[in-house]
Amino acid sequence: MDFVGDPTLDRSRPETLPVTMPRSRAIRAPTTASLPSNLRIPSSTSSLVKTFGKLTRQALLDLVFQWLEDGNVQHFAPYLQADEGGKRDEDGDDDGLRPYPAERTINGVRNAYQELQFRKGGKREVIDRILEGDWRHGITLRQLAMVDMRYMDDHPSGLRWTALELARIDNSSSNESSACIPRVHASTFLSSLQQQISPLVKAHYHLARSTSLPLTVLRVFVTTSPYQIAPRQSVESLTDSSRTIYVAFPDSCPFFYTSMASPQTASKTSPAPPNSLVATDARSLQRLVRDAIPKALSLPHQRYTVKPTSLTAKSLEALLALRGPGRSNQANGAFSIFADAALEGSPLDPRPSKTVSPEEYNRQSASVHFKDTAGKENTATDAKDVTLENKRASKRSFADPKDAGTSKKRTLALQSRFGTSGTLSSAPLDRLDVRLLDALPGDAKPTEHAQQPTVSLTFAGTDVIGGIRKLAELGVIDAERMPSWMTGEEGVSVVVVREGRRVTKAGR
């Protein structure tokens, strides 16, 4: 069963791999093995400084302490005096010249970094200490992967992610229980993924759990050489970030996210024929990995395929909200009141639901509703007054924007159209591409289908839907008449619209 996948046992896996450094002098033959985790990149590689420099000082120190933990230290062995043994005769006693003399024991290394922890200073001294001192014999691929992972944890919006859906190919015989969600068993999945990819490219795999989000992240580093050890001149390519592909698996839902270079090329047809394999650009390598994932997840009689979900965003939180394990996948925009359960409380709550604010239902209110506690007793009647007033206000002309009634009306319209999205929950989209297929008003010739002009709109910013809400709040957009895709109801970043409604048929 799954026990080989236990992290406690997994830790011992890299140990069994052969030490590969000596083999480089022997015959190099192309193999299908994956790049070993303990493959060392020379510390003198200049791009390593850049890679490490992305992290903060504290993050670097945390990583070092993680490497030096008792369970991990054999995989990330620092350079000790014992390693110097043979060298000392050749180099002579130049210890005094080196800025960081080798420590005698692992505890000594730990103490050195503890000292750095307590002292204030720049991160440069930590990087120098790592590269020129304790890991002067090289940084392993695994260490590099951990640095990248840590960077991603600290900067969840650093990459652009595309959400894809896993679907069963044969759905006729669905078993009685739930779950179209495949059970991922880490090492089996990785080995079958490797089987898929290895005839084409050589890769290094690193699977880790995100510390800040409910995600399991797979980092795949792809090289094009089939040889075990990259030639010396291509050492720089081992730190090339465009050859790194991230795949994030959220917990318990049939989606996964890939960090893709371009969302537009996510072909909606079947996977492209592998004629572009000669091309070694980053995009085709990424497609290679993405196409291999459903095959690696598949089991006998349980084949998966990938469906596009037309959602690409920078923020992982947005992806988790819109294609995640929670309640808000299919309830956004106006329907976010249902996702946040802001409409009504538990059936044991004696308060009529109109008198309770959504914030209270969500138990997130700290001091929001404090200001209007004065007349709480009469809120029910107040609410009625408000609706009456609004009916009156709606009869008034829209011309006077300073009228309090109008802004109240606008607020109500805003609340009904956008629900709680943007206030209680937020899924910031950084880009929204819209294609309008409607005929221009005036020339009504539906027969000339091909001649119709299409209008494409692209919204970009930190939070597109939030921005549209702001505009509606200011009265620039009429909240009542705008189509539903503007409220983020569809939960997509690429949308094709006809007559204000989303059209989902693929292939246009």
Partner 1 sequence: MSTPSPNTEEETESLDSEISTIRAELKALHHRRRILTNSLLTSRPLQRLAKSHPPQTTATIAGTPPKWPDLSPLLHTSARHADLNHHRIAFSTTAFPFTDPAPGPSAAKNLLGVRIDICARDGSYVKPYYILLRRVGLHTPNNEAERQQQQQQQQQQQTGARGRGNRVLCVHRHTVPAVVDLGALERVYLPRAKAADAVGEEGEGEGEQQHEKEEAAPRKPWKHQPRKQNLRGFLREVRRQLVVWHVRCDGVRYLRERLGVVRRGADSDEENGVWERDVLAEDPIQETKIAKNALGIVALGATALEAVYVRVEWEDGRVGRFKISNAGLVERAVVMGDNGRDKLMEAVMTGGNGRLETLLDRLRKSAAESKVSAAASVEDGASQTASEA
Q: Does 334 bind partner 1 (CB under 8 A)?
A: yes
Q: How far is the CB of 438 from partner 1 (least distance, A)?
A: 11
| Beta strands in 169-282, from DSSP E residues, in sequence order | 202-209, 215-223, 244-250, 255-259
Selected binder of partner 1 within 29, 170, 233, 370 (CB under 8 A)? 370
Selected binder of partner 1 within 62, 128, 240, 344 (CB under 8 A)? 344
d(CA 11, CA 335): 45
Selected binder of partner 1 within 89, 301, 481, 507 (CB under 8 A)? 481
β-strands 431-436, 494-498 pairing: parallel
Residue with tokens 């007054």: 385
Q: Which is nearer to partner 1, 348 or 399 (CB)?
A: 348
Selected binder of partner 1 within 12, 24, 31, 252 (CB under 8 A)? 252
Q: Which stretch binds partner 1 (CB under 8 A): 233-241, 288-296, 350-358, 459-467?
A: 350-358
Q: Does 58 bind partner 1 (CB under 8 A)?
A: no
Which 205-244 residues touch partner 1, going by CB under 8 A? 209, 211-212, 214
Q: What mask of x and - would describe binding to partner 1 in positions 387 to 426, judged by CB under 8 A?
A: --------------------------x--xx---------
Counting residues that bind partner 1 (by CB under 8 A) gives 74
Q: Does 46 bind partner 1 (CB under 8 A)?
A: no
Using a CB cutoff of 8 Å and minimum separation of 24, what contacts does 502-507 make?
503/437, 506/268, 506/308, 507/268, 507/269
d(CA 64, CA 110): 9
Longest dimension (CA), the chain: 96
Q: Does 1 bind partner 1 (CB under 8 A)?
A: yes
d(CA 384, CA 386): 5
Using a CB cutoff of 8 Å and minimum separation of 24, what contacts does 498-503 make?
498/436, 498/437, 498/438, 499/438, 503/437
3-state secondary structure of 327: coil
Q: Does 483 bind partner 1 (CB under 8 A)?
A: yes
Q: How far is the CB of 24 from partner 1 (least distance, A)?
A: 36
Q: Does 507 bind partner 1 (CB under 8 A)?
A: no
Q: Does 3 bind partner 1 (CB under 8 A)?
A: yes
Q: Does 177 bind partner 1 (CB under 8 A)?
A: yes
Quote the DSSP letter at residue 266.
-
d(CA 292, CA 288): 6
Q: Which stretch binds partner 1 (CB under 8 A): 45-53, 125-133, 269-277, 477-485?
A: 477-485
